[in-house]
């Protein structure tokens, strides 16, 4: 199944952590956004994040397989879940999977924070400008609805290293 994954890191080798996800999923990677630096969201007293979005496609993986793989990569990067929206070595969010809807508390799809996060919408729009977030509409319109300060807080750093 085709999935959109949002990647973030604000501890340790931030770029290395993001790159580890792409390297792991390499055969299934369809597209990877540039790397963006963003201000923290939720808990603001922490380092800035590096963020990217990737699109992956693998007929052998369903939404649960994408979630479990992301959680495994987070664990390998030493992620510790102590504070909600707190600092982390690696965050791999499953944004959407082939339009699947899920209200399971462990896997909410589409990811509920997406419409409010320019840090996801901007990189996603870079690689899939006509994308639609199921139940919410075109990501371009979602991004345009965000305050200018939110959009300005997402700073392009460079293309994703290959």
| 130 is an active site residue | no
Helical (H) or strand (E) element with 141: helix 139-144
Answer whether 138's CB lies under 8 Å from 106's CB: no
Answer whether 30's CB lies under 8 Å from 4's CB: no
Residues 6+ away with beta carbon under 8 Å from 43: 83, 84, 85, 86, 87
Residues 6+ away with beta carbon under 8 Å from 159: 34, 35
| 23 is an active site residue | no
Residue 31 phi, psi dihedral angles, 5° rounding: -155, 150
Q: Of 88, 117, 146, 150, which residue is the catalytic one? A: 88
Q: Of 57, 58, 93, 116, which residue is the catalytic one? A: 93
Q: Of 79, 117, 146, 150, which residue is the catalytic one? A: 79
Token pair for residue 80? 């510790």
Q: Of 14, 91, 146, 150, which residue is the catalytic one? A: 91
| 91 is an active site residue | yes
Tokens 């397989």, located at residue: 65
Answer whether 54's CB lies under 8 Å from 124's CB: no
| 151 is an active site residue | no
Catalytic residues: 79, 88, 91, 93
């Amino acid at each position: 199944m085709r999935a959109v994954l949002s990647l973030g890191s604000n501890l340790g080798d931030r770029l290395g952590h993001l790159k580890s996800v792409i390297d792991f999923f390499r055969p299934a990677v369809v597209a990877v956004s540039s790397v963006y630096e963003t201000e923290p969201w939720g808990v603001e007293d922490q380092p800035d994040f590096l963020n990217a979005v990737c699109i992956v496609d693998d007929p052998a993986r369903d939404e649960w397989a994408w979630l479990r793989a992301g959680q495994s990569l987070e664990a390998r990067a030493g992620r510790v879940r102590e504070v909600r929206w707190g600092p982390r070595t690696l965050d791999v969010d499953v944004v959407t999977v082939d339009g699947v809807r899920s209200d399971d508390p462990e896997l909410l799809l589409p990811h509920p924070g997406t419409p409010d996060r320019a840090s996801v919408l901007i990189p996603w729009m870079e690689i899939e400008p006509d994308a639609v977030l199921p139940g919410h509409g075109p990501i371009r319109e979602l991004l345009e609805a965000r305050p200018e300060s939110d959009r300005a807080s997402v700073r392009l750093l460079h293309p994703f290293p290959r």
